[in-house]
């Protein structure tokens, strides 16, 4: 959600699908659902020049997977930021299904204020409890208002052009848009989903524009969160800050409008990931990766390079394990994949330098000619390559300091069709409420991470397989397509 969404939500070219690969189609969208107008900061499809060719490039991640499937079956439009104003159509799938993509084409000033400034300089750190990183600037707030108004106007046009359609707005970049849409189209059905945490009242109240943000969200008919605790924090905030009351079912009455709330954790495309996980090409690639990493055990970390992901704390925890248990030196290797993120923002530039330094110190302390404690990779990967890493890893180490949900944990489990592997998971990510078969760690304590790693490394095979079977039940039972359909069903039914 993360996004709070997957850390691999970066633009990359679609690769040709190998012949014979198992392709699992998502469950068909149930009849009776309406045409869909979506709005999100990131677009699902963009144009990129690769060599001398201009290719259609897809943005991957849980949200794109869910909404792309829904839009292809329901029809409609996806409205996103984009580098220039344009309308296009998504590439057709095997059945010829497509939908419209509208890019607003924000200016550099708008992106600096709305995105780098207020969205990622105020809301992102605030919602993830990094209060020292919150830097409120009234000019950036005004740009945030203007961009939300542009999105709202585009959604309103889409609703007018598509009779009977509903609007679904996504994430912290667009919290003001629901009320703006409501004012432009009073009778439209508007949904909103937040993919980050919603912070506790004592944290949220710090925001100078807290009332405007809450009133923006209360323009929606249905507001969704990944966990009950996020939903409850939102209800407490609207009661204490705007004086609105909620009933036992979490519905809020405010200025004559009723906003329902729900909590529903997003899933992953289980069938597709399971097909990737069991594909012979994936298993062969996983075997090659294992041979390329010195030692007997691979611990895998995969994240966007973001301060909320706890990469520095993870390195400290792994170092504590090697410090306390010398028997793991030369035998257990941490493979840390860090996908570059928001590289123009100074906080992220400092984080990269700090992580580079921490990896170097760990290597200097324990590495030798035959073994490196950390293999540090700073680039994005294609889904096939990620699946191979998931199959190669003995342990997936997911330890964000705070995360709306975290789909890496679910992707790892979905790929482990062999029943192997183990998941070490932070107590402070939304997925911890679902994935009860994980080994849990407090990422703020190096000893806690070391303890969880050691337990995962030393448990017998039967215990690890029991935990993974339980994790797979939890992941398979909450597929991303059912998540999207469930929200749209609730929105349409009122």
Residues labelled catalytic: 195, 403
Residue entry with tokens 């799938």: 93
Q: Kindly write down the DSSP assignment for every residue of 279-291, as one continuous string.
A: -HHHHHHHHHHHH
- Per DSSP, 33 falls in state P
User: DSSP secondary-structure letter at 477?
Assistant: T
What's the angle, vertex CA 392, arms to CA 388 and CA 394, rounded to 5?
Answer: 145
Terminal CA-to-CA distance of the chain, rounded, Å? Answer: 25
Collapsed DSSP state (helix, strand, coil) of residue 341: coil
- Please tell me the distance from the alpha carbon of residue 155 to that of residue 177, in angstroms, as a whole number: 9
What sign for the dihedral angle of Cα 491, 492, 493, 494?
A: positive
What's the CA gap between 453 and 325, in Å, rounded?
11
Other CB atoms within 10 A of residue 16 CB: 6
At 299 the three-state DSSP class reads: strand
Residue with tokens 């996983």: 286
**Rounded to an integer, what is the distance from CA 262 to the centroid of its chain?**
18
The residues, any chain, with a CB within 8 Å of residue 188's CB and separated by 6 or more, are 156, 159, 166, 167, 181, 182
Supply 362's token pair. Answer: 């760990």
What are the residue ranges of helices labelled H in 395-442?
407-415
Cα distance between residue 174 and residue 184, in whole Å: 16
Q: Helix, strand or coil for residue 275?
A: helix
Q: Say how far apart CA 408 and CA 450 lie, in whole Å.
A: 20
Residue 304 is given by DSSP the state E
Residue 373 tokens, joined: 């404690």
């Amino acid at each position: 959600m993360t996004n709070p969404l997957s850390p691999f939500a970066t633009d990359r070219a679609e690769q040709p699908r190998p012949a014979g690969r198992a392709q699992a189609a998502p469950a068909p969208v149930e009849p009776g659902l309406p045409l869909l107008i979506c709005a999100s900061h990131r677009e699902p499809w963009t144009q990129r020049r690769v060599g001398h060719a201009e290719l259609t490039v897809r943005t991957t991640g849980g949200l794109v997977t869910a909404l792309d499937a829904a839009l292809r079956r329901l029809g409609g439009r996806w409205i996103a930021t984009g580098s220039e104003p344009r309308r296009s159509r998504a590439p057709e799938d095997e059945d010829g299904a497509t939908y419209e993509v509208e890019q607003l084409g924000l200016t550099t000033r708008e992106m600096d204020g709305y995105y780098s400034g207020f969205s990622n300089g105020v809301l992102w750190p605030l919602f993830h409890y990094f209060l020292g990183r919150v830097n409120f600037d009234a000019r950036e707030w005004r740009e945030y208002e203007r961009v939300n108004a542009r999105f709202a106007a585009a959604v309103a046009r889409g609703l007018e052009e598509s009779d009977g359609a509903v609007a679904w707005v996504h994430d912290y970049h667009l919290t003001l848009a629901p009320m703006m849409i409501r004012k432009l189209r009073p009778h439209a059905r508007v949904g909103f989903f937040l993919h980050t945490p919603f912070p506790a009242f004592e944290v949220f109240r710090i925001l100078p524009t807290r009332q405007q943000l809450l009133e923006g969200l209360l323009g929606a008919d249905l507001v969704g969160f990944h966990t009950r605790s996020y939903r409850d924090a939102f209800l407490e905030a609207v009661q204490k800050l705007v004086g609105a009351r909620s009933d036992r079912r979490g519905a809020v009455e405010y200025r004559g409008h009723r906003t329902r709330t729900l909590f529903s954790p997003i899933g992953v495309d289980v069938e597709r990931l399971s097909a990737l996980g069991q594909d012979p090409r994936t298993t062969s690639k996983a075997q090659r990766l294992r041979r390329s990493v010195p030692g007997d055990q691979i611990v895998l970390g995969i994240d966007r390079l973001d301060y909320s992901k706890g990469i520095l704390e993870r390195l400290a925890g792994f170092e504590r394990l090697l410090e306390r248990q010398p028997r793991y030196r030369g035998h257990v290797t941490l493979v840390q994949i860090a996908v570059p993120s928001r590289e123009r923002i100074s906080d992220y530039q400092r984080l990269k330098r700090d992580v580079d330094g921490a990896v170097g110190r760990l290597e200097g302390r324990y590495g030798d000619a035959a073994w490196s404690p950390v293999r540090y990779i700073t680039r994005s990967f294609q889904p096939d390559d990620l699946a191979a890493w998931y199959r190669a890893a003995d342990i997936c180490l997911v330890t964000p300091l705070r995360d709306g949900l975290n789909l890496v944990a679910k992707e790892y489990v979905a790929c482990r069709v062999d029943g192997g592997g183990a998941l070490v998971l932070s107590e402070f990510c939304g997925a911890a409420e679902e994935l009860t078969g994980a080994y849990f760690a407090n990422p703020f304590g190096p000893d806690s991470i070391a303890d969880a790693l050691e337990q995962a490394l030393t448990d017998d095979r039967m215990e690890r397989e029991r935990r993974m079977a339980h994790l797979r039940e939890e992941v398979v039972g909450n597929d991303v397509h059912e998540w999207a359909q469930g929200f749209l069903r609730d929105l349409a039914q009122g």
